[in-house]
């Protein structure tokens, strides 16, 4: 999986980061309790969105179809459930939920905590999924960043 992350840092301007695995199999989605690769979870855009919707502690809207730069897939918004009190390795002492993690050799690792929101574009890209992640603290900035993400074009 290749991941692009868009967010507004505290300073002016946009920050676009690209995370890339050494192979399509390097990134796997994890279950919140196991903190390891979940066998049997397909890595298609719809399967990833469905798994996130079932994860305890997250509020994830229904996937919507999307096309970006010639790639098709789905987009979902992800937030921490305001009633969630569980913690994860990043969130102690406050609430949090692991969202995604790359398996070795990748060091990609994200969790969801209070006050953050993600918009995840999950796009079919051959035999893997390309993810564009928008991370916001202020929801008002989401439309501006979504317009940037939705305007991306990909080369061969």
Dist CA 93 CA 95 (whole Å): 7
- Residue pLDDT, tens place only, 87-146: 887 766 789 888 876 655 666 777 888 888 889 999 998 877 888 888 888 778 888 889
Taking only the tens place, the pLDDT of each residue in 31-55 is 333 345 556 656 789 988 998 999 8
Specify if 44 maps to a domain.
Answer: yes
As a whole number of angstroms, the distance between CA 64 and CA 87 comes to 29
Return the percent helix, strand and coil in the chain, to nearest 5.
15, 40, 45
Buried b (16+ CB within 10 A) or exposed e, 48-85: bbbbbeebebbbbeebeebebeebebbbbbbbbbeebe
pLDDT at position 104 is: 58
More confident residue, 23 or 54: 54
Residues 101 and 30 sit within 8 Å (Cβ to Cβ)? yes
Does residue 156 sit within a domain?
Answer: no
Q: What is the pLDDT of residue 84?
A: 93
Evaluate whether residue 107 is within a structural domain: yes
Structural contact between residues 49 and 63, judged by C-beta atoms closer than 8 angstroms: yes
For residue 102, list its beta bridge partners.
27
In a domain, 134, yes or no: yes
pLDDT of residue 68: 94
The count of domains in the chain is 1
**Does residue 155 lie in a domain region?**
no
Strands (E), 1-156: 2-7, 15-20, 27-28, 58-60, 64-68, 71-80, 97-102, 109-112, 117-125, 128-136
Q: Containing domain of residue 124, as a range?
A: 2-150
């Amino acid at each position: 999986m290749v991941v692009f992350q868009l967010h507004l840092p505290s300073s002016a301007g946009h920050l676009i980061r690209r995370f890339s695995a050494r192979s399509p199999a390097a990134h796997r989605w994890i279950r919140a309790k196991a903190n390891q690769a979940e066998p049997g979870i397909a890595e298609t855009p719809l399967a990833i969105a469905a798994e996130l919707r079932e994860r305890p502690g997250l509020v994830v809207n229904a996937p919507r179809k999307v096309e970006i730069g010639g790639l098709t897939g789905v987009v979902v918004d992800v937030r921490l459930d305001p009633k969630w009190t569980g913690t994860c390795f990043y969130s102690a002492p406050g609430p949090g939920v692991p969202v995604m993690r790359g398996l070795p050799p990748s060091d990609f690792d994200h969790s969801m905590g209070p006050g953050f929101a993600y918009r995840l574009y999950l796009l079919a890209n051959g035999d893997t999924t390309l993810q564009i992640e928008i991370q916001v603290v202020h929801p008002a900035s989401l439309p501006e960043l979504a317009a940037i993400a939705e305007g991306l074009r990909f080369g061969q």
